[in-house]
Structure 1
Amino acid sequence: MYESYYGFTERPFQLSPDPRFFFATSHHQRALSYLQYGLDQGEGFIVITGPIGTGKTTIARNLLANIADENIVAAQLVTTKLAPEELLELVAAEFKIPVEGNNKADILQSIENFLVTLHNQGKRALLLVDEAQNLPAETVEELRMLSNFQLDNKPLIQSFLLGQEELKDIISAPDMEQFRQRIIASAHLKPLNLEEVKDYINHRLSQANCNKETLFSDDAFKLIFEKTLGVPRKINIFVDRLLLFGFLEELETITINAINEVAEEMAVELTGSLNGQNLTNEQKAQPLVVNSSENVENIKNVLREVEEILETSIQQKVKMTRYIDKLLKQKNREYAELQSKEAEN
């Protein structure tokens, strides 16, 4: 892709969470500190919430990657809408606990035996539950029941919950009082501000060994912030496409014009629709009246919009063709250099 053109050792804005690229804003650092505090306490629940794409999973991966205590046995769940028994089955599977029988009592007994064995070995279990907002209230309650497993007045398992903002609503319900009393710390992640967006991008570029200090100007950082609203996942998607665009157009510096052009191409991906607006039910339900001059003009406008969309699509295909052509030429040059070196040897 664009790595060799810009001198990167790897793609700096991949979507998959990578602890090496973890960038701690004040909010992220606070959340990570709470998680570490929870580890040190060895009991209770830690809850981390935040909008989509603000880095909750990255924090969890960073924590797991940096656990230095060999006495902590960790497992991570990425949940869907699990019933209580399904959650227990998944917990057993992630901790690789053999289960004899197939009813809830058998699963609970197997989990307890496993936790007691860990305790006798001087170890304890840590369960990270990602996308916890998908759990029904009764399944969150099942997690609380798991925390009742104790020996020598010490909890045998500890749970961290990471989820979108809906998780706060689940926990705030009147019948979740017992669960709330076991939360020892909580944090809420927010999108990055302008300065954090600049630091975030530069940090990732540095991790990929970028040596181009002028790749983005201050005005470029400001515009990227405006286009992505400071959401890390959107920044990754957008800047990755910007670098590909810069490679195709042979840009040494990512310009304001390049950012605006890529933002226009990616309008659907960044906003969810071409114009960021949804039709109301009333607008959707109106019939088409062909003999109305107003509707004829509307049809013309729609056709013009379709024409623009098709033209944009064609331009993207042309750019991709150019990219493939450039990539083939680059590979041919590399092959020719390799052949030349072999011939010299």
Structure 2
Amino acid sequence: MYLYHFGLRELPFTLTPNTNFYLGIAPHYEAFEVLLTALKTGEGFIKVIGEVGTGKTLLCRKLLNEIPEHFVTAYIPNPYLQPDELRRAVAVELGVKQAQRMSVQLLTQRIQERLLTLHSQGHSVVLILDEAQALPAESLEALRLFTNLETETRKLLQVVLFAQPELDQRLNETRFRQLKQRITFSYGLRAMTGEEVAQYIDHRMHIAGYKGAQLFDKNLCQQIAKVTEGIPRLVNILCHKMLMLSYGQGTYQLTKTHLKLAVKDTEATVEKAVRVNGWFASGVLLSMLLIGWYFLGEML
């Protein structure tokens, strides 16, 4: 790959959410502060909404890594679960023994007992669900009933929902009005601005170990911001492909041509590029170019 070519320790633009690359740009910093403030109040539901690729999972992992020590967390990364499956998943996360074998009634009782035990030990319990828009309707209602568990002074369980905008559409339905009323804190995670995209790219290159001259200049970053509309995941995809192209050509300078080729090979950005810059989306495939360059390099 291009690690040695650019003097990098690791790949700077992978799609796996890695908190080592976290950059506290305004949308992520504000969202994280809202989460911490909301959790400290002890209220029931907290919601973070963001489009696909805006960094919700990265923010979720940062929260799991840095949540204050007195919190006990139950993390459900794939909430496409029926109510009984959701209860058992929560029970397992909270350390309820033999949760898979109990009846629903006994399981609910054991969960409540476990929450009371943790409360008596000075712990706060938070249930964190990623991709919460995938929750079935019955499971959303089961989630609301979870937050009925409380003492005279505070909730025994707080819930943090990370979700795509589809969740807001569902919560606007009449049948979910009780759940919607219980969401006390909410944050809309926006995409990055052009300036933030430049900071983001520079930060990730620095964390990955790059120490050379600037590869992504200001104008190039502005173009990347336009064709990706500031979506971090798309920025990662294009930057990764541009570095691969430069490596394949044996060059150390990234250009608008590299960006155009990367866009043409990335379905999610082709339409944006045509709309924003009028670029013609030809049938040239970056993958074919890269494969050819790779084997040429192996032969040499």
TM-score (norm. length: structure 1)? 0.78
Please name the residue that 2:73 is paired with.
74
Offset of 1:324 from its aligned partner? Answer: 4.6
Are the aligned partners of 1:45 and 1:160 in contact in 2 as well (CA < 8 Å)?
yes
SS, match of residue 31 in structure 1: helix
Please name the residue that 1:317 is paired with.
291
What CA distance in whole angstroms lies between the structure 2 residues aligned with 1:318 and 1:267? Answer: 18
What CA distance in whole angstroms lies between the structure 2 residues aligned with 1:311 and 1:28? Answer: 34
The correspondence of residues 82-97 of structure 1 with structure 2, limited to 5 A, is 82-97=81-96
Offset of 1:152 from its aligned partner? Answer: 4.4
What CA distance in whole angstroms lies between the structure 1 residues aligned with 2:3 and 2:285? Answer: 29
What CA distance in whole angstroms lies between the structure 2 residues aligned with 1:323 and 1:148? Answer: 63
Amino acid at match of 1:318: G
Please name the residue that 2:251 is paired with.
251
CA RMSD of aligned residues (A): 2.5
Please name the residue that 2:211 is paired with.
211
Offset of 1:17 from its aligned partner? Answer: 0.9
- Note closer, same or farther for the CA distance 1:310–1:7 as it changes in structure 2 (3 Å cut): closer
- Note closer, same or farther for the CA distance 1:96–1:246 as it changes in structure 2 (3 Å cut): farther
SS, match of residue 109 in structure 1: helix
- Note closer, same or farther for the CA distance 1:312–1:195 as it changes in structure 2 (3 Å cut): closer
The correspondence of residues 145-224 of structure 1 with structure 2, limited to 5 A, is 145-224=145-224
Deviation digits for residues 137-177 of structure 1, max 9, x if unmatched? 32112111111112343211111001000000122222222
Offset of 1:79 from its aligned partner? Answer: 2.4
Offset of 1:271 from its aligned partner? Answer: 4.7
Please name the residue that 1:236 is paired with.
236
The correspondence of residues 48-127 of structure 1 with structure 2, limited to 5 A, is 48-67=48-67, 69-98=68-97, 99=99, 101-127=101-127
What CA distance in whole angstroms lies between the structure 2 residues aligned with 1:143 and 1:310? Answer: 48
- Note closer, same or farther for the CA distance 1:322–1:111 as it changes in structure 2 (3 Å cut): farther
Please name the residue that 2:141 is paired with.
141
- Note closer, same or farther for the CA distance 1:271–1:116 as it changes in structure 2 (3 Å cut): farther
SS, match of residue 62 in structure 2: helix
Deviation digits for residues 18-54 of structure 1, max 9, x if unmatched? 1121123322222111101112112221101111000
Offset of 1:197 from its aligned partner? Answer: 0.8
Q: How many residues align?
A: 294
Deviation digits for residues 180-236 of structure 1, max 9, x if unmatched? 222121011122121111111111112123212421122211221233221101111
- Note closer, same or farther for the CA distance 1:48–1:257 as it changes in structure 2 (3 Å cut): same
Are the aligned partners of 1:50 and 1:165 in contact in 2 as well (CA < 8 Å)?
yes
Amino acid at match of 1:259: L
Are the aligned partners of 2:88 and 2:100 in contact in 1 as well (CA < 8 Å)?
no
Are the aligned partners of 2:81 and 2:136 in contact in 1 as well (CA < 8 Å)?
yes
Are the aligned partners of 1:15 and 1:237 in contact in 2 as well (CA < 8 Å)?
yes
Amino acid at match of 2:51: P
Are the aligned partners of 1:79 and 1:131 in contact in 2 as well (CA < 8 Å)?
yes
Offset of 1:59 from its aligned partner? Answer: 0.8
Please name the residue that 1:268 is paired with.
267
What CA distance in whole angstroms lies between the structure 2 residues aligned with 1:129 and 1:313? Answer: 36
- Note closer, same or farther for the CA distance 1:101–1:217 as it changes in structure 2 (3 Å cut): closer
Amino acid at match of 2:229: L
Percent identity between the two aligned chains: 31
Are the aligned partners of 1:21 and 1:204 in contact in 2 as well (CA < 8 Å)?
yes
Deviation digits for residues 279-320 of structure 1, max 9, x if unmatched? xxxxxxxxxxxxxxxxxxxxxxxxxx9xx8588764343123
Please name the residue that 1:26 is paired with.
26
TM-score (norm. length: structure 2)? 0.89
Are the aligned partners of 1:219 and 1:256 in contact in 2 as well (CA < 8 Å)?
no
Are the aligned partners of 1:248 and 1:322 in contact in 2 as well (CA < 8 Å)?
no
Q: Which ranges of structure 1 fall in alignment gaps of 5 or more residues? A: 277-304, 327-345
- Note closer, same or farther for the CA distance 1:48–1:311 as it changes in structure 2 (3 Å cut): closer
What CA distance in whole angstroms lies between the structure 1 residues aligned with 2:292 and 2:118? Answer: 59
Q: From the CA coordinates, give the structure whose radius of gyration is larger.
A: 1
SS, match of residue 184 in structure 2: strand
Are the aligned partners of 1:38 and 1:44 in contact in 2 as well (CA < 8 Å)?
no
Offset of 1:56 from its aligned partner? Answer: 0.7
Amino acid at match of 2:2: Y
